[in-house]
Amino acid sequence: MFSHLTDNTGLKIIPLGGLGEIGLNMMLYEYGEDIIIVDCGLMFPEPYMLGIDIVVPDISYLNGRKEQIRGIFLTHGHEDHIGALPYILRDITPTIYGTALTIGFVRGKLKEFELDDAVKMTVVKPRETVSCGCFSVEFIRVSHSIVDGCAFAIRSPEGVVIHTGDFKIDQTPVDGELTDLATFARYGQEGVLALLSDSTNVEREGYTLSERLVGEAFNDIFPKCNERIIVAAFSSNIHRVQQAIEAAINCGRKVLLNGRSMITNVQIARELGYMNIPDGVLIDLRELPRFQRNEICMITTGSQGEPMSSLSRIAMDDHKQIKLETGDTVILSSRFIPGNEKTISDLINHLYRRGAYVYHDNVSEVHVSGHASQEELKLMMNLVRPAWFLPIHGEYRHLVQHARLAHRVGIPKERTIVMTNGDIVAFADGEACIIDKVDHGRIFVDGKGIGDVGAIVLKDRKHLSEDGMVVVIIGIDQSTGKLIYGPDIVSRGFVFEDESREYLEQAKSLVVECLAGLSIEVLGDWAEVKQEVRAVMKRFFKKSIARRPVILPVILEM
């Protein structure tokens, strides 16, 4: 079946991220000596990733294959599809292809990292085709929660693969740009080898609501507000921001943009002609005191309750220039990202404590999803009519349920493949299967460090966060081995020292007894001394209060 693969001429599809997880989207298409990359996204840290800022895909598989990479193709400008570029482009620098807004966002992001001149970026319009090695890629317009989203028709010697990216089928989009169903149908008539389709909303029945409904909700809520209005949204959702601005204009309000990414993205969108904001509508933060509260609408980031975001500081009454007062209205116009529910709930509680009225998608239609629900997913399958179906984008349960949805549509079970990250799915002569697995994983970014924090460090951080730390400081005479200082015991996150002096004195006594029982030879070996002290403290803490702090003996040479 796979004889062609022995001479490296079959088509290989290799996910390096984005399967079994939300975010981190990165897919490789490989044929012979040619590789193209679709998307290069980041993921925000999960709760166990203590102290981690962001997560990016491990691209070690591409080491030694850099000369084979013909291009990076971006479906749209969300962080989970473009956010890893500043880190990946340190190692590889192929041409980047995307629509105008996507490239605009990428250019701004790379400029922050002083990488904007390190790589070539090419703007591609929907229905245009780019040739890269043996591949040709046609951009197909799709609706999503960001402007300029595209699916790809990737033509290879083995056939055409449709890669949907994130999409929904919005029949009344804000900008009038419909999902290009005609092009999908054209490929369906021609014959499609495989469909890789967005699984994010597969658990939702029916159809996803139109983005236009959010604008209608804004126009319903805004006139009822007697004080300041604050709308929190993702800065990349240009249509959402545009509709909030239009609702504010309809009520005679000025608009204050708050948050660096919000200001930057709106500026990029205006320069590229994706937003229409009349002169005199936007004001600067310094102008805020000139206006009455009922004359202002603020559009801000921070809808996920990020601790240092402007909205969180406003909710905590910790913002120097912006104060929330009784009667103000706050609209959280975004979905609750899984894992953020408690943080957002706390944010909402703090907003209510300030006396605000709060709208979110559980109580009002101030947010709609950008992802296709079941009926739209079925329609995509029926238009494309693929020989093979591979669900992408989502947690593992989403992928499995999407495969089952495909079975209901009529795609045979044996022609659906549920991939996981690192799988090599090979196509040859119209057949396909998983033939191998490549190195893959997650690279943690902590501050300016990239990849220097691994599982062991995270385990230590978890241990410290749960059990605290005890430092035992000892001064030993190097020549005689006698204890001439300490032991001093300092704890953090273990016990409150002022109230536990007697208990810590017992611990000190045990350390003294331990050292007194060691030979001169052992006392000369500091590694051995540390091990003995650590063992004594570990037994004492476990037996006395059933705790397991991190124990760090420190020996001073005296």
Residue pLDDT, tens place only, 477-512: 766 667 778 788 888 888 776 667 778 888 888 888
Q: What is the pTM of this model?
A: 0.86
Rounded distance between C-alpha atoms, residue 423 and residue 417, angstroms: 11
Give residue 365's pLDDT: 85
Secondary structure class of 325 (helix, strand, coil): coil
Largest CA distance in the chain: 89
Cα angle: 296, vertex 299, 304; to 5 degrees: 140
Give residue 339's pLDDT: 65
Structural domains in the chain?
3-206+369-450 (3.60.15.10), 212-359 (3.40.50.10710), 468-557 (3.10.20.580)
Taking residues 461-470, report their average pLDDT: 77
Which of 18-27, 173-182, 227-236, 485-494 has the lowest average pLDDT? Answer: 485-494
Which of 28-37, 167-176, 443-452 has the lowest average pLDDT? Answer: 443-452
Say if residue 358's pLDDT is above 50. yes
Place 91 in a pLDDT band, splitting at 50, 70 and 90.
confident
Rounded distance between C-alpha atoms, residue 372 and residue 210, angstroms: 11
Say if residue 96's pLDDT is above 60. yes
Contact 150, 126 (CB under 8 A): yes
**Average pLDDT over all residues of the chain:** 90
Give residue 464's pLDDT: 74
Rounded distance between C-alpha atoms, residue 269 and residue 249, angstroms: 19
Rounded distance between C-alpha atoms, residue 156 and residue 428, angstroms: 11
- DSSP letter string over 164-204? --S-B--SS-TTS----HHHHHHHHHH-EEEEEEE-TTTTS
Q: What is the pLDDT of residues 398-441, one digit of tens each?
A: 999 999 999 999 999 999 999 999 999 999 999 999 999 999 98
The two structure tokens encoding residue 159 = 């056939």
Which of 29-43, 370-384, 454-468 has the lowest average pLDDT? Answer: 454-468
Contact 475, 485 (CB under 8 A): yes
Taking residues 174-186, report their average pLDDT: 96
Tell me whether residue 361 is one of the annotated catalytic residues.
no
Give residue 495's pLDDT: 75
Taking residues 116-121, report their average pLDDT: 90
The single-letter DSSP state of residue 80 is: H
Give residue 7's pLDDT: 47
Three-state SS string over 346-411 comes to HHHHHHHHCCCEEECCCCCCCCCCCCCCHHHHHHHHHHHCEEEEEEECECHHHHHHHHHHHHHHCC
How crowded is the C-beta side of 140, counted as CA atoms within 13 Å?
Answer: 27
Say if residue 33's pLDDT is above 60. yes
Give residue 73's pLDDT: 98
Give residue 353's pLDDT: 93
Cα angle: 261, vertex 266, 272; to 5 degrees: 130
The single-letter DSSP state of residue 19 is: B
Give residue 475's pLDDT: 84
C-alpha Rg value of the chain to the nearest Å: 29
Give residue 1's pLDDT: 47
Long-range contacts, 118-124 (Cβ 8 Å, 24+): 118/89, 118/93, 119/89, 119/93, 119/94, 119/95, 120/95, 120/96, 121/95, 121/96, 121/97, 122/95, 122/96, 122/97, 122/98, 123/98, 123/99, 124/97, 124/98, 124/99
Tell me whether residue 371 is one of the annotated catalytic residues.
yes
Say if residue 528's pLDDT is above 60. yes
Q: What is the pLDDT of residues 336-345, one digit of tens each?
A: 766 677 888 8
Taking residues 68-94, report their average pLDDT: 94
Give residue 474's pLDDT: 85
Say if residue 4's pLDDT is above 60. no
Which residue from 258, 243, 253 is spatially nearest to 223, judged by alpha carbons? 253
Rounded distance between C-alpha atoms, residue 52 and residue 46, angstroms: 9
Q: Which of 39, 80, 198, 328 is catalytic?
A: 198
Q: Say which residue, 199 or 464, is predicted with more confidence.
A: 199
Q: Which of 78, 360, 371, 398 is catalytic?
A: 371
The two structure tokens encoding residue 177 = 């740009």
Q: Say which residue, 116 or 124, is predicted with more confidence.
A: 124
